[in-house]
Amino acid sequence: MEGAKFQSIGTAKVVFAALASPVVAAARHLTGFDRAVASADALEIIPVSNPLALRTGDVLTVEIRHRGRPLQSQPISIVRRIEGAPSAQTLTTDDRGQVKIVAGPADYYLTRVSLEERTGAAEGQVDRRVFEATLCVRGPPSVGCPALSPSSSRRRDRPPRTPSSRRRFPPTAARYERHRAR
């Protein structure tokens, strides 16, 4: 095949935890979020500080690595889900490949970094690689409030569901199809 070719390599990470007590204090002692999980050839965003223990005003430090090495002077973008584009900001990594992000209001934060690399390959070979990495973190709960728990997130204008009010489906696909055919 004639012409230039490119290869796109992407990684995506979401940091979350299921806690018996969904409050920031319970998340402070969690570990493992700072491990590299992408392949050796990928671009990756790695939280250095615990993203689950943030409060408004706290600092989340993330490190950008490409091929296992920190990337210096690399621009990254951060956007909050609720406010969207108006909340977007661009930060640049320091000499250790790290960026410090100040936690704002409770929201989901999407951090994205992209890197393009020319390979210098012959005609018809992959001559350009585009690396992209994303990290999605649920931002801090409001100051003084625990993270949403099932009891605090339930709509107040309707009564709780009882076992008889839940819609039930048989457990297997064949039984489900028979149930739908009725």
Domains in the chain: boundaries: 5-143
What's the one-letter identity of residue 139?
Answer: G
Residue 25 has pLDDT above 90, yes or no: no
**Cβ-proximal residues to 79 (8 Å cutoff; 6+ apart), any chain:** 85, 87, 88, 89, 109, 110, 112
Instruction: Provide the pLDDT confidence category of residue 166 given band limits of 50, 70 and 90.
Output: very low
Strands 59-66 and 43-47: antiparallel
What pLDDT does residue 52 have? 83
Higher-pLDDT residue of 172 and 111 is: 111
Instruction: Tell the CATH topology of 5-143.
Output: Immunoglobulin-like (2.60.40)
CB 59 within 8 A of CB 101: yes
DSSP 4-30: -EEEEEEEEEEE----SS-SHHHHTT-
pLDDT in tens, 47-63: 998 888 888 888 999 99
Full-model pTM: 0.68
> What is the rounded average pLDDT of the residues 100-105?
88
**Cβ-proximal residues to 120 (8 Å cutoff; 6+ apart), any chain:** 127
Task: Compute how many other C-beta atoms are within 10 angstroms of the C-beta atom of residue 158.
Answer: 7
**How far apart are the C-alpha atoms of 7 and 110, rounded to whole Å?**
23
What pLDDT does residue 175 have? 52
HSE-up (13 A, CA, CB side) for residue 83: 12
